[in-house]
Amino acid sequence: MNLQEQLKEIKTQFRLSMNGVVSQSMREKGLNYKLNFGIELPRLKQIAAEIEKNHDLAQALWKEEIRESKIMAAMLQPIDTFYPEIADIWVENMPNIEIAELTCMNLFQHLPYAPAKSFQWIASEDEFAQICGYLTIARLLMQKGDMTERASSEFLDQAIVAVLSGSYQVRNAALLAIRKYINHSEANAFQVCRLVDEMKDSTNEAEQILYNMVRDELGD
């Protein structure tokens, strides 16, 4: 089966699995796609499990303006041919937060260069690069959790700035990464506590959000 035939077969599977109620619900929540079949993730995983991973197929799926195609692209992309420059291109063309979250989960966190690349992304001016950076770091912290002292300092400096001055979605991604960092060890929790302690009585809303998140995580 050639590439075009594979794409056609996958789209047939999408149509057969379509869920109009979910699709409509996503539209009402502001998740606008050119085409959205509303297929739930377990079903997409089933479809992907029956297809061999293939670089050209994954790249072709990513270029489609279809929700399910972009999700499946990350599921079918082989790690060894997904070079850093391709990762940057995907991030530049990230359509929304749902695809960002699922791409980080299904692909970015597994890349051998994910730690270095995620730090590049959080230092970017681009909003979705920052989001993907923090979401990938959060995933890596759940996997391994260890960072060098220098990396920890850089991460916390960037993440706190993102929480205090970033967009709503950047703030949420940074908060998630900080939460995973806190949960990794008592030393990490203590380190973050020291950084936010002076925000306790702050009138700044973002500082209060950060302080309260840390306090809630520690059960204080």
* Mean of pLDDT values over 25-51: 92
The pTM score is 0.93
In eight-state DSSP terms, residue 197 is G
Instruction: Report CA Rg, the chain.
Output: 19
Contact 136, 96 (CB under 8 A): no
Taking the C-alpha atoms of residue 141 and residue 135, their distance in angstroms, rounded to an integer, is: 10
The band of 220, judged by pLDDT with boundaries at 50, 70 and 90, is low
pLDDT in tens, 143-163: 876 788 899 999 999 999 999
Cβ atoms 220, 182 nearer than 8 A: no
Q: How far apart are CA 92 and CA 62, in angstroms?
A: 12
Give the C-alpha separation, 41 to 102, whole Å: 10
Q: What is the mean pLDDT of residues 20-28?
A: 89
